[in-house]
Chains A and B, each alone.
Chain A
Amino acid sequence: MASIRVMHGIGDLADDLDAIRLRARGDMRAVVRDGVKVGNTVAKDLARESSGKHAKKYPRSFTTSMNAGLGLFGNTISGEYGPVPGDQGSLAGILENGSVNNPPHRNLARSADLIGPSFAQEVSRLPSKWFW
């Protein structure tokens, strides 16, 4: 029978924590970046499907960006996805939530429904990756 034996001392744990301190922020940033990218892909696909012939170029305006700042308390990592203003990206105001004449498309809201839970899972999985 095969067996695995792991020996760990308090010194090793201290080393691990030191290493985690250095890689944590980068890893968290990577998870946010991935989440934003996947969310954007989903939203863009939904937009392509619902934009119709008048807003054909609307899906092209979907982009992602990571925010450079770390927030008021220096511990917030954030990114954004969605249509940027300009060209047909400016249609976001009437497509997402509709207008007097047009029913809403909810491309962003639907993508957030999908990506929100798996993003939360990815974030909660990080600590176990660090201690592996």
Chain B
Amino acid sequence: MTEKEQATAILEALNSALSPAVAYEYDKVPGSYGNNGSRPAKYVLVDISRRYVEKRLSSGEVSVSGGRLGVRYVAKSTNDARNMRTLATAALEDKILVAAGGEVGPFVFESAEAIVPDDGYQSGADVFTF
């Protein structure tokens, strides 16, 4: 699965779990990063990157394509952000997403950030590895 396919699968899963709130990549949020429109009252930010995974064999080269997924919940009210956290966690944690290109997951909880005031919004984050 390419990174693009992974991102598409993750965004789709989040969008169907969070509807009507939308999950965006950082550059796609309306009203920020020079995009048209105004910033939504609640939305989710997603970032994906590959991470180093130790090889388990002492001989031979083993390449593991593990990744890290950051999900940031942004809302005008703490409650909305919390609800989005609950829905997103239910959709992702320990789940394997199946898409056209293959499978991605399971998403294992790594760390979290409390929901705190952030530039006029309330936001907190979860980090998963997969």
Partner of A98, one of B32, B47, B111: B47
- On whether the beta carbons of B47 and A113 are closer than 8 Å, the reply is no
| Minimum distance in angstroms from A106 CB to a CB of chain B | 7
- Residue A123 at the chain B interface, CB threshold 8 Å: no
Task: Across the interface, name the chain A residue whose C-beta is closest to B118.
Answer: A100
Which residues does chain B contribute within 8 Å of A110, judged by CB atoms?
Answer: 51-52
How many chain B residues have a CB neighbour from A under 8 Å? Answer: 22
Chain B residues 32 to 72 lying within 8 A of chain A, measured CB to CB, are 32, 45, 47, 49, 51-54, 68, 70, 72
Partner of A101, one of B47, B49, B51, B119: B119
**Interchain Cβ contacts under 8 Å between A and B, 23 examples:** A97-B72, A97-B113, A97-B125, A97-B127, A98-B45, A98-B47, A98-B72, A98-B125, A99-B119, A100-B72, A100-B123, A101-B32, A101-B119, A103-B26, A103-B45, A104-B47, A104-B125, A106-B49, A106-B70, A109-B111, A113-B51, A113-B53, A117-B54
Binding site for B on A (CB under 8 A): 97-101, 103-104, 106, 109-110, 113-114, 116-117
